[in-house]
Structure 1
Amino acid sequence: MAVSFKLPDIGEGIHEAEVVRWLVQEGDQVREFDPLVEVQTDKALVELPSPLSGQVREIKAKAGELARVGEVLVILGEAEAVQEQADRAEVISAPILTAGRVLATPAVRQLARDLMIDIRLVSGSGAAGRVTKEDLLAHQRAQQEQRLSDAERAEESCRSTAEESVRSQALPSIDTMTPTTTRVPLRGLRRTIAERMTKAAFTAPHVTSIDEVDMTELVSLRRRMNKLLEPSGQKITYLPFLLKALLIALKEHPYLNAQLDDERGEIVLRSDYNIGIAIDTPDGLIVPVLKGAERRSLLELATEIGRLIELAKRRALAVEEMRGGTITISNMGPLGGLFATPILNYPEVAILGVHAMQEKAVVYQGEIAIRTMMYLSLSFDHRVIDGAEAVRFTNRIKRLLEHPDLLVLEMG
């Protein structure tokens, strides 16, 4: 018996997906639930497993092609059976395994919780990729070794970069007289980003408000906190402080934590605070959503941010972790640059851009002083938010960041 394995309806209004990579070849024998193919949807990278044990007869959709829901991806057949014609093949839809769902026993899942390990970050060595107890313990050891060797790798990287620079200066020049052109298909995540940016730019009238913040006191506070955290091996970045300031300001300015329902002509004020965090990955911009941010402490925010960043860079985010955002923060500080005007993550009505901190000579308390300064840029939907409201909102964030003792007092 032959089986036509079709692209299933993955939900979320998705009608097509790009075939990213086949994990099998024609003629291979597979077992039920073995991974067959990775497809890229508008939301996440999805792995589709085999619905039966048998042989891969014919791959219909090649890597790099777009497939619509209901189109045949591959023909499978039982190894012992005689191959039937494709037009008589039985149709089976694929069970969906996103990266957020892994195979593991309840006992192993409980052990992962006890060890405070995100089981989705663990590579399974068991049957069909099942995560075992040994996998968890090996992952824990690797994390410990990683922390110990980070400093050594950083030093080696600097040394290698210097040596490479010396070697490159000695190389002969390359003849570049003949121009070449490369065409790259607009596919996968890049295509999704292009569509969303176009919709946001041509749907919501964007306005951007920019302000400068004195981060000197917060730099000092963070340094003291990290000193206290050294024995535990934890470290806190500036992003949790920024999130706390953002949350306090959102509660006082609810129209920034809203959406515009164009069809019904209504502004939807959200009572939950789900912060999208724009992350630059090798595959493009990904925005996981940190949910229930207002209920988390600084350390809990730091831990959750780290987890989401790691999952995003591994393309291992579950669909649920990429939807439901109420406002987005884009931290461009590590990349440098003075400031930018970010585009809304539609249908949200505001996005906060955070930029690089720089030491500057400024007037402070009537004298010239060296202070650590940073630009904030707030892009907002002018249909929902007026300029005065946006400025009051950023002023509130600015005051909290410039007076971190006040920020800590108001966390509540």
Structure 2
Amino acid sequence: MGEFVLKMPDVGEGVAEAELVEWHVKPGDPVREDMVLAAVMTDKATVEIPSPVSGKVLWLGAEVGDTVAVKAPLVRIETAGDGGEPLPDSVPEALAEAVLEEPVAATPAPAKVTSPPKPQSPAPKPALAPRQMPDVSAKPLASPAVRLRAKESGIDLRQVIGRGPAGRITHDDLDLVISRGGEPLPPQTGLMRKTAVEEIKVTGLRRRIAEKMSLSTSRIPHITYVEEVDMTALEDLRATMNRDRKGEQPKLTILPFLMRALVKAVAELSGVNAIFDDHAGIIHRHAAVHIGIATQTPAGLTVPVVRHAEARSIWDCAGELNRLAEAARTGTATRDELTGSTITISSLGALGGIVSTPVINHPEVAIVGVNKLAVRPVWDGTQFVPRKIMNLSSSFDHRVIDGWDAATFVQRLKTLLETPALIFVEG
């Protein structure tokens, strides 16, 4: 019998380490050649690592969530022959074909496999345990004083529900029974105290999201501006355009209209369509409008990017938005489709609430949050009339965007959305 040591391969493009996001095997498992052993995530892709030999897993060199350096021992495999050499430092063809563009919806992480789990300290017991039916076949737990008092009172302790530690019967429990004339308390069913604690390690895409949000909130002083927008006219126009759409034209939601309104607004206030390199102290104002659309996926939040929205019609915006959202949800979006935005839209649709405080997608300087659309009574000067109202909650980097400019930008969006014909006016 031999032993084969599989080292962490070089996944290319100067990557020196990768995060282990999934094990497909555990010690003792049989493996065959080309069987996927693990998945690792770099900043650019998720890579599946296959086995170059057949045999049995003896040892795993990392746990899910660990960062593994290139060339570090990853797996030891017992082989039928004399073993073999580790994989070369470059990525083999089989591994290169396993590179998947991020994001990939990782399956739940398996338990730690490199060492026995550490025993957990027992959770502190509540002062009053849940009320349960007493076990009449077991000797009840009680102190000698409680037993004597129960005997003198003619109470069978086997019929008393103990609420002390480990179900111990206390004087308080006896007092409750005595107050009922010696009748045992009825059991409480359905409502039970729960003490379980589930530990979930933050790995993969969820870790990337946590790091991104921490970076944004720690380095960007946010200012959030909320404005109410009357969407009645736009909703009427949207309904008409959807009714009259032709051929392969996609169904329009509010977002394509907002995207086109953004294009017109940033043409007048270019400071919000920018990237702030705070290390170099340089603001990069972009002529191109690359709009990131915050999208919830099974793996977590991703931000696919509709590039050059300034050159797209409203139908083109809708079609590209649909394509990117589907790619993000299925984990097939490429790195280019998930990077390079200059301004972001965040929308929770029907769950949008009244107000939100969206976090800026670093290193951008602005994000527009879409809240829930609802019919509300609005005073028109003589009476209340029903109008379709939606709030915009927008955050700005207060280091480079003053409050006045933030308000001016949102008010311009409000004007465009409330008078949607302006969205289609050229020039």
- Superposition TM-score, scaled by structure 1 size: 0.72
Normalized per residue, the structure richer in helix is 1
Answer whether contact 1:56 1:74 (CA < 8 A) is retained: no
CA offset at residue 74 of structure 1?
3.6
Instruction: Check 1:310–1:35 CA distance in 2 against 1; reply closer, same or farther (3 A cut).
Output: farther
Supply the distance in 2 between the matched residues of 1:213 and 1:67 (Cα, whole angstroms): 47
Answer whether contact 1:293 1:301 (CA < 8 A) is retained: yes
Question: Does residue 89 in structure 1 map to residue 79 in structure 2?
Answer: no
Supply the distance in 1 between the matched residues of 2:217 and 2:194 (Cα, whole angstroms): 38
The residue identity in structure 2 corresponding to 1:397 is L
Give unmatched runs, 5+ long, in structure 1: 102-119, 121-171
Supply the distance in 1 between the matched residues of 2:305 and 2:420 (Cα, whole angstroms): 25
Instruction: Check 1:13–1:212 CA distance in 2 against 1; reply closer, same or farther (3 A cut).
Output: farther
Structure 2 SS opposite 1:300: helix
Match of 1:237 in 2: 253
Instruction: Check 1:212–1:22 CA distance in 2 against 1; reply closer, same or farther (3 A cut).
Output: same
The residue identity in structure 2 corresponding to 1:66 is D
Supply the distance in 2 between the matched residues of 1:14 and 1:307 (Cα, whole angstroms): 33
Match of 1:382 in 2: 398
Supply the distance in 2 between the matched residues of 1:226 and 1:353 (Cα, whole angstroms): 24
The residue identity in structure 2 corresponding to 1:348 is E
CA offset at residue 36 of structure 1?
4.9
Give unmatched runs, 5+ long, in structure 2: 105-187
The residue identity in structure 1 corresponding to 2:68 is R
> Residues 300-339 of structure 1 correspond to what in structure 2 (within 5 A)?
300-339=316-355
Answer whether contact 1:345 1:351 (CA < 8 A) is retained: yes
1:96-121 Cα offsets, whole Å, 9 max, x none, are 444349xxxxxxxxxxxxxxxxxx9x
Supply the distance in 1 between the matched residues of 2:15 and 2:271 (Cα, whole angstroms): 27
Identify which of 11, 19, 33 aligns with 1:17. Answer: 19
Answer whether contact 1:328 1:345 (CA < 8 A) is retained: yes
Which stretches of structure 1, 4 residues or more, deviate above 6 A after TM superposition? none
Identity %: 34
Identify which of 236, 242, 246 aligns with 1:220. Answer: 236
> Residues 158-173 of structure 1 correspond to what in structure 2 (within 5 A)?
none
- Superposition TM-score, scaled by structure 2 size: 0.70
Supply the distance in 2 between the matched residues of 1:324 and 1:363 (Cα, whole angstroms): 43
Instruction: Check 1:69–1:340 CA distance in 2 against 1; reply closer, same or farther (3 A cut).
Output: same
Answer whether contact 2:6 2:87 (CA < 8 A) is retained: yes
Structure 2 SS opposite 1:377: strand
Match of 1:38 in 2: 39
Question: Does residue 99 in structure 1 map to residue 109 in structure 2?
Answer: no
Instruction: Check 1:257–1:234 CA distance in 2 against 1; reply closer, same or farther (3 A cut).
Output: closer
RMSD: 3.1
1:369-393 Cα offsets, whole Å, 9 max, x none, are 1100000011011111111111111
1:48-80 Cα offsets, whole Å, 9 max, x none, are 354x85426546356624232313334579x88
The residue identity in structure 2 corresponding to 1:64 is V
Match of 2:30 in 1: 27
Supply the distance in 1 between the matched residues of 2:403 and 2:317 (Cα, whole angstroms): 30
1:260-315 Cα offsets, whole Å, 9 max, x none, are 22222111112222111111223221112222222222222212211221222222
CA offset at residue 27 of structure 1?
3.3
Supply the distance in 1 between the matched residues of 2:329 and 2:68 (Cα, whole angstroms): 27
Instruction: Check 1:363–1:309 CA distance in 2 against 1; reply closer, same or farther (3 A cut).
Output: same
1:136-172 Cα offsets, whole Å, 9 max, x none, are xxxxxxxxxxxxxxxxxxxxxxxxxxxxxxxxxxxx9
Structure 2 SS opposite 1:340: coil
Match of 2:68 in 1: 68
Match of 2:128 in 1: none
Identify which of 325, 335, 348 aligns with 2:364. Answer: 348
Supply the distance in 1 between the matched residues of 2:261 and 2:419 (Cα, whole angstroms): 11
